[in-house]
Each structure stands twice: as structure tokens, then as C-alpha cells.
Structure 1
């Protein structure tokens, strides 16, 4: 290969790699607001520039966690709108109207793995599938009451049930976190047992209240939007307090 062509190819590869690592930039408050409103979970790196500590690690983490959109904002005026005073990586989510801040100067170490983990554990959505990673964000949320859908992801009705709850969840923002528990996974057998359920009982819906450590099951039957909404409203009205709890021993229901 001629030296000139080799050099051109090498430079092109470097430029392509740099472009791949570029994050979209939010230059004003309107752009930041639109970006935050564009998805259930987004991340903004409030960083002074592309050479800031944490920029390349965040760009790499963004590629690794493709389910969450990531952008950067260099405008100090926009920083002020969100209470940011120094280089900070912030996660915004709609399910509980929460912001999670990672201040660069206060972090012990900034690396791609750590930032990817920061995004994954805080990726709480209108319907969040329960696993070891998402459990951290779910239980760290200020919203301590969970509406649980126990379902088998391998069954035909699964996607429809998930979409039903996803459409209902915004009505209960700040009151419930909607959580999907895949009953077909061995790792979730204990969660089912906590509610006195087996995989053959699914799909079922339950409520867990972290403040009182109490739990209830919606009676077996169709998992319709109306029934789930009424179940949630019954809890909010305090009507479940005197109802026997669901559990492995008594297996009682509302």
C-alpha cells in the first residue's frame, strides 16, 4: 500500500473513532428540557468540554448501555437551571420524577465500567424488570410502594400485559413504581414465594409497601387495566391496611 494511502486510511480511522465517541451537545435550556422529556430515562454530562475528566468514559459507557440516551451540556447557564456547580453526570427519570447526580470531583474513580453501572442500576422506568442491578435503583427510590406484575416472559400474553401496565404507570408517578418479575427465572422463585405464588399461578399482580413491609395480591383473574387501577387506588385510600397479607404460609388475597 502506498505510504500516502496508508496515512489517509489511518487518519480516517482515527477521525471515525473520535466521531463515534462524540456525544450530542445541548447548548441551551430548551434543548436540555426537550432531551430530558424525550425518553423515560436520559443522562446528561454537565462537562466543560470534550477533554474534561469523565467525558471519554461517559461516551464509552453510553455505547455500552444503548438503552439510555446520553448527551453533554457545556453551558454554565443551563448548569445553573439544574443546580449543577461543577462537572457532574446526571441521570433523569420520569417513573419517580427523580434525578441522580454523580459529581466528578467527589467520585473516587471515574471509569467506563463504573459509569455504565451507574446508568444501569438507576435505569428505573415506568415498568422496570427486576434483577440484581435494577433492584438497587428500585429500593433507593423515594417511592417505596411497588406494583408488581408476576409474569412469564415466555408466554404469549406477556408483551400485552407489559404494555398495559406501561400505559397505566404514568397515572401513579410518585406513588408507585411498576415492577415486572419474570416468574420463569429461577432467580425469582424467592420473590414468588414471598407472595405465596408458584410459576403455575401466573400472571398475577401484587403490591409491596416498603414503608410498612406489607404485601397484598390482586385476586386471580384477568389482569386488566381497570382492575389494576382499582387495586392501586384501594391502597392509596388505605383500604388494604386491614386486609390480610399475601404470603407463602397463609396465601391470602384481597
Structure 2
């Protein structure tokens, strides 16, 4: 069973976790928590309302919840409290379960995931998804101990999407670097805007290209994995070249 304090953080993340003030309807909370909905979630919600951190409103007979702006600092303190996120054998399983409650990107099907550990041995999970109506349109759900975030990569069928820009950058790097090798930092330097400030899109794109067979690992360069192209391309690459010539 997930603790009340963890449910309070989960509720507040869904309301203000991305820096945007959202509204949560009562039925949305049940939908987001899915099969994990339990009494502790209801208790956590009631505590937040009773303490004045959340406002409980009703529109067209639908109950909804928002963060009380006058208590925003208190809500953020709860959201950013790290005391409940220390890894140990007793709560590691609980943290993993809570991570599963974050909503997945709508209209996408789960494809695969990868795990990453930083120097402090904190683990991040990257869940990769394909769009149900376009198998070359990708999104990723990044899950850490503190938050869950969804990044839309776009479709390889669209030239101006982030994933297409990063694929073109990989192709260009293979032509200008020694032995056609490149690392994540090279990709970041080449296409900084598409990669994003924290390089997460770069990491995601390399995982996708490797899974699709477009690139392969080619040893190490310092502390980083180096990659080379395999010669395999998106199925429409040749057609694009014909159209653009």
C-alpha cells in the first residue's frame, strides 16, 4: 500500500508538477490512478482539502480540485520534500509502484524502456512509445524518483520534427567525424535545439535509432558510448531525396 504522504505528492505533481496550474476532476483522479486507486489516496486528497492547500469546487455536478494560490508555497514544499525519496530496501518497491501511476501519453502504445543511473546511483526510467496511427511517431515518458515527464519526439515522416532533425544530425556527424563515430555530446553540439537543454531528447533519439537498427554501438570514447550508422534508413528516405532533388 502506498503511503498517504506519497499520494499527496502524486496529487500535487499532477496539479502543479510541470509549472502549469492544472485542474483535476474527481473522475480524472480515479482514471489516472487506475487499478492502484485505494483508500490512502482518498485520505491524502481530503487532508490537502481540509488543510486549505487544495480547493474543492463543483462544476455541472462534477467535483474538481485546484491548488489554492495563497497556499502555493506550502504545496511546493510538499512536492519538493525529498525525505520520502531516500533509496533503501524498505521503500524501493514502493517508489517503483508510485512511478507507475503517472499517466502515459494518450494515443500511443508502449514499445520498450531503458534505465539510466547517474553518478549518485539514482535511477531514471525512459519508457518509449509509438503512436497508434504512425509507427514512426515517438514519445517518451521519463520517470525519476521525483517526477514523471512526457516528451514528444514527433514523427520521422515529418522533416521539421525533433526526431527527424536528430536523425539528420546523426547522418551529418557520420560524414564529418573520424571513422564516422559520434557520441551523445556530438549530437548535442550539432543539434542543440532539438536535443533540449538537458540532452534528454538526444538520449531518447539514440535509443530509438538503435532499436530501429539505424545505428549501432561502437565501443567507448572516454566515458561515453560511441555510435556508427548501420546503413539502414527510414523506409521513405530515398523517396524524400528524390522529391527534394
TM-score scaled by length of structure 1: 0.27
Structure showing the higher strand proportion among its residues:
2
The structure having more radius of gyration, on CA atoms, is 1
TM-score scaled by length of structure 2: 0.28
